[in-house]
Amino acid sequence: MSDNNDTNGSGQEPAGAGRPGRVVGTPSPAAEKKLLASEDISAPAGSGEELDEQSAKRAERVVALFFLTAFAASIGFIAYYIVWSGRDGGMHGIDRARESNYWLGGLMALSFLALAIGITIWVRRLMTSKPLVQERHEARADDETRRQFGETFMEGARDSGITKRPLLRRTLLLAAAPLGLAPLVLLRDLGPLPEKRLRRTYWAEAVRKAKAQGKRGVRLVVDGTNKPLKVSDFSSPGAMITVLPEGIEEHAHHPLNEIAKAVTILINIPEDQMKPALRNRNWDVNGIVAYSKICTHVGCPAALYEQTTHRILCPCHQSTFDATDAAKVVFGPAARPLPQLPLSEEDGYLIATDDFPEPIGPSFWERG
Amino acid sequence: MKRFTAWRRRPWAGYAVVLAALAAIGVIYAGFQPRPDRAEATATAAAANDLQNGKALFNKNCASCHGLNAEGTKDAKGNPIAPSLIGVGAASVDFQVSTGRMPAANPGAQIPRKAPVPDFNTQIDTDVENPEERAALERQKARAEKNLADLRAYVASLGDGPDVPSAQAVDPEGGDVALGGKLFRTNCAQCHNFVGSGGALTGGKYAPPLDKSDVTPTQIYEAMLTGPQAMPVFNDTTLTPRDKKAIIAYLVQTREEPDPGGNGLGRIGPVSEGLVGWLVGIGLLVLAAMWITAKKPKKLKKS
């Protein structure tokens, strides 16, 4: 099937067609006609036949200069390696690896680039371009070849005994069948369905554990220092901090996965600025409220809290939530408010008394 | 002399002498002894002077917006123009004035950082050749530092608030950089970018960049402590002084990180790098492809 198998029709002009034949894969000359002025039709693009000797000489020198540059750069590469990098165990050791990389890479790039530029100038300025025609041979083999192939094939089959020895044939098929099925099994990786895992966060489990110990809820700790927060600790209006349920790093099954879902921002809003929707929920402690940090649009961390406007901005798509109004969406593509965590106070500490009342993060099909 | 001798013999003369001696001792004692009292008196007078100076500076630079008693002002519709400064504390004053944000040029979406006004410019570069010039600049700097301290003292005297952190508390040396990085990424990076390059907020506001050395550790600490403009407050009971020191250490160390590619492109991450990759890299490839395949200008001789 290869193109240089030119038994048929190579170099033949289509007789009497009046249009030039074309190289396989080049654009149709009909299209080119539209681009060229009519007197240029006979002139293949970039013909060099009119090249005067003077300009050819000039081009030759330019190309030679580029080739010499490539040569020098390659020699430089070798010399740099031998004289500099190759010593001390190669590549300057660790200390100066970056410098070595710059020099070696730069010289090699220069060498390749100079070669490429030289060749391109050579082609453009010195070589002529003529239309070359190479007809494809017929795809169908002739009858004699086909008959011979059939004979050889059948002879081989008989020789291997695959028709005569059914046990071999059947066990071979048996061996191949599971191989064909194997990729199907991998489709399982598209799942499994999340089931109920997206509905609950670690807050639920942490609250359950705390209640089992006779407490009313789980303490809030600062993400990073694991310091449990007292109500008095977080008393400055306009304060914000990222919090997690206490014990998530020690006791969660997959701490990073659970933190990614349970991460929450704690905000202290002056009580007189709380709107009825937020106040009526009664999930705040003296104006301290907690919202999920995961944007309900596509799940970016929305935590750009402005204490002047009490807005929470998501940096990905500018969804904006009003922290004084139960995180209602005031701008942007998010469709639902950030879920709020019910807070309370126990022994002076801030606690969460339940999980978020709805799934956090972006919508999903089964969310309902 | 005769008359003196005559007085001496009077019956009250003895009393007079005792009284005079007592008075003399009293005066001499008063002359030597009450030094502490006098020093106290001078200190009180000086403190009163400092407060006086602070109040004068306040009236000159701040009162037009914040009100003569720092009570804040409102426009005709009752929207606040400038907040009350009662109880904001010395740290807030130090932050706002030393970063040049206050006195503000005009009230906009956000008051930008700028060179402090001359009265409070404590960042004067005194590194000049001419000794006279240097002495003058040093005097100017000392005066600015005194002015700033007086203004802080005056505003702090209006109501209790966070004080300026000590030099030891803001020293990045000894801060836990790893902890600082974690805290910065969870609580600060969403606005300020993970290396402190700053970023945009809503309505024309923005989080200023923290990656230049003109943002001093003291200013970083004060900003966390007081929550200037739209920035939330991170008080010392939420992020402890140790945590704040760690954050400062992280920011200072991040400034010194090399940019392996040569130019950090604002260090704002894959967006700028990708953009440059597309525009420059693919642009060059396109140009190269056009050059290689371009039609040569020569024409065939017509025959």
Q: Is A306–B179 a contact, with Cβ atoms under 8 angstroms apart? A: no
**pLDDT digit string (tens) for B97-112?**
888 888 887 777 788 8
Residue that the structure tokens 């950089």 belong to: B177
Which residues of B are less than 8 Å from A303 in CB distance?
A: 187, 190
DSSP A17-35: -SS----TTSPPHHHHHHH
Per-residue pLDDT at B19 = 87
Q: Pick the closest to residue B99 from B266, B240, B226 (CA basis).
A: B226
CA atoms within 13 A on the CB side of A22: 11
How many helices (H) and strands (E) chain A has is answered by 9, 11
CB atoms within 10 A of CB B18: 10
B206 by Cβ neighbours in 10 Å (0-12 / 13-18 / 19+) ranks as: middle
Q: Is B243–A225 a contact, with Cβ atoms under 8 angstroms apart? A: yes
- Inter-helix orientation angle A97-125/B283-293, to 10°: 30
Q: Is B82 on the interface with A (CB under 8 A)?
A: no
How far B162 CA lies from chain A's nearest CA (Å)? 11
How far A174 CA lies from chain B's nearest CA (Å)? 50
Q: Is A45–B191 a contact, with Cβ atoms under 8 angstroms apart? A: no
**pLDDT digit string (tens) for B215-229?**
889 999 999 999 888
Residue that the structure tokens 């649009």 belong to: A297
How far A230 CA lies from chain B's nearest CA (Å)? 9
Best residue in B182, B192, B201 for a mutation probing chain A (most A CBs within 10 Å): B201
Q: Is B293 on the interface with A (CB under 8 A)?
A: no
Contact B254, B172 (CB under 8 A): no
User: What single-letter amino acid sits at B230?
Assistant: A
Q: Is B300–A311 a contact, with Cβ atoms under 8 angstroms apart? A: no
Contact B112, B101 (CB under 8 A): yes
Contact B230, A307 (CB under 8 A): yes
Which residues of A are less than 8 Å from B296 in CB distance?
A: 45-48, 124-125
**pLDDT digit string (tens) for B130-151?**
888 888 888 888 888 888 888 8
How far B227 CA lies from chain A's nearest CA (Å)? 8
Per-residue pLDDT at B118 = 81
Alpha helix (H) residue ranges in chain B: 2-8, 13-32, 35-61, 63-66, 89-98, 131-158, 177-187, 189-192, 217-226, 241-255, 270-276, 283-293
CB atoms within 10 A of CB B97: 26
Q: How many CB pairs under 8 A join A and B?
A: 120
Which residues of B are less than 8 Å from A334 in CB distance?
A: none
B58 by Cβ neighbours in 10 Å (0-12 / 13-18 / 19+) ranks as: buried
Give yes or no for a cis peptide into A359 (omega within 30° of 0).
no
B246 or A51, which is more confident: B246
Q: What are B102's two structure tokens?
A: 């206050």
| pTM: predicted TM-score of the whole model, two decimal places | 0.68
Which of B232, B292, B302 minimises the CB distance to A120?
B292
Q: Is B295 on the interface with A (CB under 8 A)?
A: yes
Beta strand B73-74 with B80-82 is antiparallel
Q: Is A50–B302 a contact, with Cβ atoms under 8 angstroms apart? A: no
**Of chain B residues 184-203, which have a CB less than 8 A from chain A?**
186-187, 190-191, 199, 201-203
Q: Is B79 on the interface with A (CB under 8 A)?
A: no
Per-residue pLDDT at B213 = 82
Residue A315, SS3? coil
Per-residue pLDDT at A230 = 92
pLDDT along chain A (368 residues), means of 10: 42 43 52 43 46 82 96 94 70 68 92 95 79 82 93 91 88 91 86 78 92 92 91 90 92 88 93 87 91 93 90 91 93 92 92 92 79
Beta strand A264-268 with A288-292 is antiparallel
Q: Is B302 on the interface with A (CB under 8 A)?
A: yes
Per-residue pLDDT at B169 = 85
Per-residue pLDDT at A32 = 45
Contact A11, A133 (CB under 8 A): yes
CA atoms within 13 A on the CB side of A198: 16
**pLDDT digit string (tens) for B34-92?**
454 555 556 667 777 788 888 888 888 888 888 888 888 888 787 777 888 888 888 88
Per-residue pLDDT at A212 = 93
Q: Pick the closest to residue A310 from A357, A244, A263, A240 (CA basis).
A: A240
- State the Cα–Cα distance between residues A234 and A77, nearest whole angstrom: 63
- State the Cα–Cα distance between residues B302 and B299, nearest whole angstrom: 9
Q: Is A304–B190 a contact, with Cβ atoms under 8 angstroms apart? A: yes
